[in-house]
């Protein structure tokens, strides 16, 4: 197996809830769960959830709230709320998801130009466990950074995300696992110490293959029978599609919008670009990956088969807004080189770490 890389360029549930409009940190579970419709600047009509591609993002990955988290842990909810009130006009600094959310809005801008009446747009929902009294600071921060987020969902920690969500991003492993268990694409987002500059006009999304776009069936063969067993299995099943993994539905959503935006056949200039960055080689293992995507009716703009080489350098070259991988070591390597990377705790690679993070984690998210 060579260590080179090859690039192929080619072709439910409503968010509105019935909770009380009053706010108190001592409310019951159902009273503490409600939706806030927030007018952005400039104001836009909310996108109907049933037609949108819904991206749920926790406050702690959209903004940098490390200091506030420390205050919550040291002083409890009352001290946390008091601090937020006193700093209401002080915006949070951007978090790892901020550039991704801005890129989604850039795609929406292009879609609105081409299809003024279409409701097939990205709809970002801010997820937070915070008491509503913290809302004004979040509002001010969103307007300060010129983000277009019309909806907040305050769950009180009871329900992680609505069933129709296409992608859920959080720093809380327990909530991400709960979402994955419901069949929702979800990942734990990590923050690089220094983030790479990314495109302001083209959304770039990079995916690992096994355990992310595809199921982990081949990965299980590799762990059981080693490299030779894996290669023989992929050669034998080269034309057999793999089962889908947790991020397939998000790639489908991106592909649907790509087809709408690719009106002049200029694929390279499309406002959305997708990447497969996998440890597979470019032999039978790579062919099976591409055959699987083809059998689903999906395309990937670039496929990089690294044959076990580190992914960080290739991702630094691509500069995606977001990268998904089921193996924490690959996520760590990407983060070290400035890529905003997300861990998908799914499949064989994460079975041993599953215990201990299924429970609710203490967070001021």
pLDDT tens, position by position, 264-303: 666 778 999 999 999 999 998 999 999 999 999 999 999 9
Tens of pLDDT along the chain (365 residues)?
333 333 333 333 333 332 333 333 333 322 333 333 343 444 456 666 678 999 999 999 999 998 988 998 999 888 988 998 999 999 999 999 999 999 999 999 999 999 998 889 999 999 987 666 778 888 899 999 999 898 887 665 555 577 789 999 999 999 999 999 999 999 999 999 999 999 999 999 999 999 999 998 888 888 887 778 888 888 888 899 999 999 999 999 999 999 999 876 667 789 999 999 999 999 989 999 999 999 999 999 999 999 989 999 999 999 999 999 999 999 999 999 999 999 999 987 677 555 444 333 444 45
Burial class (CB in 10 A: 0-12, 13-18, 19+), 222: buried
Q: What is the pTM of this model?
A: 0.83
- pLDDT the model gives residue 44: 58
Q: Name the H helices within 51-165.
A: 59-62, 66-86, 98-114, 135-144
User: SS3 of 37, please?
Assistant: strand
- pLDDT the model gives residue 168: 97
Residues present in the chain in total: 365
Give the strand order in the sheet containing 186-189.
7-9, 302-305, 272-278, 203-207, 322-325, 341-343, 186-189, 167-170, 53-58, 122-128, 151-154, 34-37
- What would the pLDDT profile of 148-165 be if each residue is shown by its tens digit? 898 887 665 555 577 789
Q: What share of the chain is helix, strand, coil (3-state, %, to 5)?
A: 35, 15, 45
Specify whether the CB–CB gap between 248 and 184 falls below 8 A. no
DSSP class of residue 54?
A: E
How many Å apart are CA 53 and CA 121, to the nearest integer?
Answer: 6
By DSSP bridging, strand 53-58 and strand 122-128 are parallel
- The verdict on whether 208 is a catalytic residue reads yes
- pLDDT the model gives residue 35: 37
At 58, give phi and psi (nearest 5°). -75, 150
How many Å apart are CA 172 and CA 164, to the nearest integer?
Answer: 20
Q: What angle do CA 59, 333, 213 make, to 5 degrees?
A: 70
- pLDDT the model gives residue 160: 57
Q: Where are the beta strands (DSSP E) in the chain?
A: 7-9, 34-37, 53-58, 63-64, 93-94, 122-128, 151-154, 167-170, 186-189, 203-207, 272-278, 302-305, 322-325, 341-343
- pLDDT the model gives residue 162: 73
Tell me whether the omega of the peptide bond preceding residue 42 falls within 30 degrees of 0, making it cis: yes
How many Å apart are CA 230 and CA 13, to the nearest integer?
Answer: 40
Q: Which domains does the chain have, with CATH numbers?
A: 34-188 (3.40.50), 197-350 (3.40.50.1000)
By DSSP bridging, strand 322-325 and strand 302-305 are unpaired
Specify whether the CB–CB gap between 311 and 324 falls below 8 A. no
Catalytic residue among 123, 129, 172, 208: 208
Distances (CA, A) of 150 to 3, 41, 101, 165: 46, 10, 13, 16
How many Å apart are CA 339 and CA 72, to the nearest integer?
Answer: 28
Distances (CA, A) of 121 to 37, 39, 55, 261, 298: 17, 17, 10, 12, 19
């Amino acid at each position: 197996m060579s260590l080179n890389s090859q690039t192929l360029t080619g072709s439910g549930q409503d968010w509105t809830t019935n909770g009380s409009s009053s706010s108190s940190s001592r409310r019951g579970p159902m009273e503490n769960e409600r939706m806030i419709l927030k007018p952005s600047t400039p104001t836009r009509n909310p996108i109907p959830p049933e037609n949108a591609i819904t991206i749920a993002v926790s406050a702690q990955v959209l903004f940098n709230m490390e200091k506030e988290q420390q205050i919550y842990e040291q002083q409890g909810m009352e001290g946390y709320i008091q601090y937020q009130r006193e700093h209401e006009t002080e915006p949070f600094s951007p978090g790892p998801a901020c550039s991704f959310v801005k890129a989604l809005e850039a795609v929406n801008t292009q879609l609105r130009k081409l299809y003024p009446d279409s409701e097939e747009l990205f709809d970002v929902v801010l997820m937070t466990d915070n008491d509503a009294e913290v809302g004004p600071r979040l509002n001010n921060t969103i307007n300060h950074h010129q983000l277009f987020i019309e909806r907040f969902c305050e769950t009180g920690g009871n329900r992680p995300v609505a069933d129709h969500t296409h992608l859920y991003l959080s720093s809380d492993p327990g909530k991400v696992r709960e979402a994955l268990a419901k069949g929702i694409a979800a990942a734990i987002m990590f923050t690089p110490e220094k983030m790479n500059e990314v495109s302001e006009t083209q959304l770039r999304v990079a995916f690992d293959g096994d355990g992310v776009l595809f199921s982990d069936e081949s990965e299980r063969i590799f762990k059981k029978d080693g490299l030779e067993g894996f290669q023989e299995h992929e050669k034998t099943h080269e034309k057999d599609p793999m089962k889908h993994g947790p991020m397939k539905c998000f790639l489908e959503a991106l592909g649907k919008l790509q087809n709408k935006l690719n009106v002049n056949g200029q694929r390279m200039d499309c406002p959305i670009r997708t990447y497969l960055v996998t440890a597979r080689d470019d032999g039978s293992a790579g062919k099976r990956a591409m055959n699987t995507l083809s059998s689903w009716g999906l395309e990937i703009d670039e496929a990089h088969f690294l044959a076990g080489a580190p992914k960080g350098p290739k991702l630094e070259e691509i500069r995606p807004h977001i990268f998904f991988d089921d193996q924490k070591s690959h996520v760590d390597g990407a983060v070290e080189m400035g890529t905003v990377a997300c861990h998908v705790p799914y499949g064989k690679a994460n079975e041993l770490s599953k215990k201990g993070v299924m429970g609710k984690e203490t967070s001021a998210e």
